[in-house]
Amino acid sequence: MPRAVVPRPRETTARKLSVFLSKHARVRLALLLSAPLFWLGLVYIAALAALLVTALWTVDSFTGKISQTWTLDNIVTVLSGSLYQAVTLRTVGVALLVTLIDVLVALPIAFYMAKVASPRAQRLLVIAVLMPLWASYLVKAYAWRSVLSQGGIFEWLVKPFGGESPGYGLPATIITLSYLWLPYVILPIYAGLERVPNSLLEASSDLGAKTGRTLRSIMLPMLWPAIIAGSIFSFSLSLGDYITVNIVGGANQLLGNLVFTNVGAANNLPLAAAIALIPIAIMIVYLTAARRTGALDNL
Amino acid sequence: MHLYTARRRPAILAGLAIASVALLTACGTTSTPSGSGGAPDKLGTMEGSVSILAWPGYVEDGSNDPTVDWVTAFEDQTGCKVTSKSYGTSDEAFTLMKTGDYDVVAASGDASLRLVAAGDVAPVNTDLLKNYAGIFDFLKMQSWNSVDGVSYGIPHGYGANLLMYNTDTFTTPPTSWDVVFDKGSAYAGKVTAYDSPIYIADAAVYLMAHSPELGIKNPYALDTTQLAAAVDLLKGQRANVGEYWSDYLKEIQAFETGDSVVGTTWQVIQNSVTTGNTDVVLPEEGTTGWSDTWMISSQAKSPNCAYAWLDYIASPEANAQATAYFGEAPSSQAACDFRDDCESYHAGDEAYASQIWYWSTPIAKCLDGRTDVECTDYSAWTTAWQEIKG
């Protein structure tokens, strides 16, 4: 039987290149990664670097032009000014409360979705949780403005029980932000619960553990990474928000408002950049703390 | 994630970061001295296009509402094609004018002086504008549209910041701003105020009448002591403020629901409230207001079309349309022939207008002519405003 002759392939440039790449795995990897890494560098690192650099400049208050003389004045102002300390504390407080409320509300909802509901109800519930995300953020914030207004739905609801609407202010801000970020907290916790095998819960009760014990010793440790993941969303989103507090926050301002007025009203980009470093620093601390707990290992 | 990549990545990222910092510092902005030469003596041929920066509702070509259109007529008359951009705050306008992309800007008094100081706008030869003669005299050559006797534009329209109150809460109409300042605690949580550093001037107007010992002559010329007094007054007010407004739709809603019952407002807001239980008054202390000016960029690419626009928008019919649409008094008596609501805006009422301190940019050189002290500038006001809000 004559053996089939495989013709020697022609030595084209493309072929040479392909041979070269197949022999050099590192070069292949570098070429593959350079585009996304370049993009990442451009979008994230360059933006952060630009922010940091801008914070070190000053602005001429008369002509509004940025003068590129290096100074730490803005950073010092932001760190030492009592205004910035008060607003930072308020912002962190709001973000923590929003996160706490969201986690407390999300846990039972996610548990019901993952462990109790039938597959059909489960799908419907996921859609229901995602549904608010289809509407514009602004529409939802303005909806809460009318809900919490005098003679609004909230007042109508609680009046029979002797309550009254909190009006516009920090409580209204916390309520609205909790509502806005709830889906971002429910979904990771729901995904985390899906990974907890039912057999573990059964084994726990077989061994005589009551509901509370099972929740504490089995569920919570396994859910912890998911809770942290959800809390990162609600915490970081609350930290940077300035529109909600503008709409329902009454006369209060958060860090985002300070950044906004310094860019918009004051035309002081360097100071705005310095203020913007505060939430970044807080998030770095938060993520480091989350990493310490080991919550990020299982993500 | 494997360990070796995790360890190596910071090095790569650091390298990238250093490279990008180097890149950013390398391509820093070059500052070009923008001298604001003289105004032209005569006009040349039209360039065929003009680019305009203005408050929303100032340059309407029918694309928002087919019945609201005064741009098409201008294009037909002059052959200058209009492209326009609207802005939300005076500060945004100030920043956008720095790009040099706009031939014409409609600036309020809290932006105009800064634009002149930064060399972004050019002097305007009002002899070339035939509609300039018809404009109310009390709007011409004011501190917000002229510098050292040189005109920098043509007035557009003006309005006063008024005191609005809920008629259910106030059985007798208030006559003084004290209901939002010294007596504001009676309406705690329901007082509203304009959310801008320029609102400090409203407190200064009040102090002019009630604390004469401070010696405030012009609410936009405050030395450090006077500013501190105004800030104290506003910090006291802060405790009673339910919310600050800068979006006028937000204030309309707050008065309709009763979340706000008293505070500063614009005539157009009173005209828009549908519940009918609000009224406005010009308090006895006088008030602040705004008077807008059409200005021409010092880097204008189409100066002739720009002059044509300034003249056109000051013509009675166009001015009436534009100011009526926005809700403010027109700049000339003749424009009132094309409007039926001039009365409610007190157009041309000089006595009314004399009670208004029009927005001006506070600058270090005192606007009231004092030379023995340095006044607080707009950036000091901005810082103060943030501290007031706390």
CATH of the domain at A176: 1.10.3720.10
CB of B114 within 8 Å of a chain A CB? The answer is yes
- Give the pairing of strands B104-107 and B287-297: antiparallel
When mean pLDDT is compared across A159-173, B14-28, B112-126, the lowest value belongs to B14-28
What is the Cβ-side half-sphere exposure of residue B64, based on CA atoms within 13 angstroms? 13
The pLDDT of residue B4 is above 70: no
Q: Encode pLDDT of B91-143 as tens digits.
A: 778 888 888 899 999 998 888 888 888 889 999 999 999 899 999 988 888 88
A5 domain residue, yes or no? no
Please return the burial class of B212, using the count of CB atoms within 10 Å of its CB with bins 0-12, 13-18 and 19+. Answer: exposed
Can you read off the two tokens belonging to residue A127? 């859609």
The pLDDT of residue B72 is above 60: yes
**CA–CA separation, A246 and A241 (whole Å):** 9
- Give the pairing of strands B150-151 and B146-147: antiparallel
- Sign, CA dihedral A156-A159-A163-A167, equals positive
The superfamily in CATH containing domain B160-288+362-389 is Periplasmic binding protein-like II (3.40.190.10)
Can you read off the two tokens belonging to residue B108? 């309020």
User: What residues of A are in contact with residue B12 (Cβ under 8 Å)?
Assistant: 37
Cβ separation A267–B243 shorter than 8 A: no
Q: A239 lies in which domain range?
A: 78-298
Cβ separation A268–B379 shorter than 8 A: yes
* Rounded average pLDDT over B281-293: 91
A8 domain residue, yes or no? no
What's residue B93's pLDDT? 85
**Distance from the B332 Cα atom to the nearest Cα atom in chain A, whole angstroms:** 31
**CA–CA separation, B123 and B55 (whole Å):** 21
- Amino acid code (one letter) for B110: D
Q: Are A32 and A38 in contact (CB under 8 A)?
A: no
The pLDDT of residue B233 is above 80: yes
* Rounded average pLDDT over A45-72: 81
What's residue B29's pLDDT? 37
The alpha carbon of residue A49 and the mean position of all alpha carbons in its chain are separated, in whole angstroms, by: 21
**Which parts of chain B fold into alpha helices (H)?**
3-26, 71-78, 90-97, 109-117, 200-210, 224-238, 248-257, 267-272, 303-313, 316-326, 350-354, 378-389
In the block, residue with structure tokens 């102002």: A77
Q: Encode pLDDT of A91-134 as tens digits.
A: 999 999 999 999 999 999 999 999 899 999 999 999 999 999 99
A154 domain residue, yes or no? yes
The pLDDT of residue B258 is above 80: yes
What's residue A64's pLDDT? 66
The pLDDT of residue B278 is above 70: yes
A36 domain residue, yes or no? no
**CA–CA separation, A70 and A44 (whole Å):** 23
Mean pLDDT, chain A, whole residue set: 88
The pLDDT of residue B17 is above 50: no
User: What residues of A are in contact with residue B6 (Cβ under 8 Å)?
Assistant: none
A144 domain residue, yes or no? yes
Residue-range domain boundaries for chain B: 30-158+292-352, 160-288+362-389
User: What residues of A are in contact with residue B363 (Cβ under 8 Å)?
Assistant: 62
Q: How many structural domains comprise chain A?
A: 1
Taking an 8 Å Cβ-Cβ cutoff, which residues of chain A contact chain B? 37, 41-42, 45-46, 48-50, 53, 59, 61-66, 68, 83, 86-87, 145-146, 149-152, 167-168, 247, 249-253, 258, 261-262, 264-268
A181 domain residue, yes or no? yes
**Higher pLDDT among residues B325 and A199, named by residue:** A199
Question: Which chain A residue lies closest to B254 (C-alpha atoms)?
Answer: A149
What's residue A62's pLDDT? 64
User: What residues of A are in contact with residue B117 (Cβ under 8 Å)?
Assistant: 62-63
A47 domain residue, yes or no? no
Residues 204-263 of B with CB under 8 A from A: 238, 241-244, 250, 253-254, 257-259
A41 domain residue, yes or no? no
What's residue B25's pLDDT? 41
Assigned fold of B30-158+292-352: D-Maltodextrin-Binding Protein; domain 2 (3.40.190)
The pLDDT of residue B361 is above 80: yes
Distances in Å between the Cα of B385 and the Cα atoms of A33, B15, B144, B382, B389 are 49, 41, 22, 5, 6
When mean pLDDT is compared across A175-189, B273-287, B336-350, the lowest value belongs to B336-350
- The confidence band for A297, taking pLDDT boundaries of 50, 70 and 90, is low
- The confidence band for A49, taking pLDDT boundaries of 50, 70 and 90, is confident
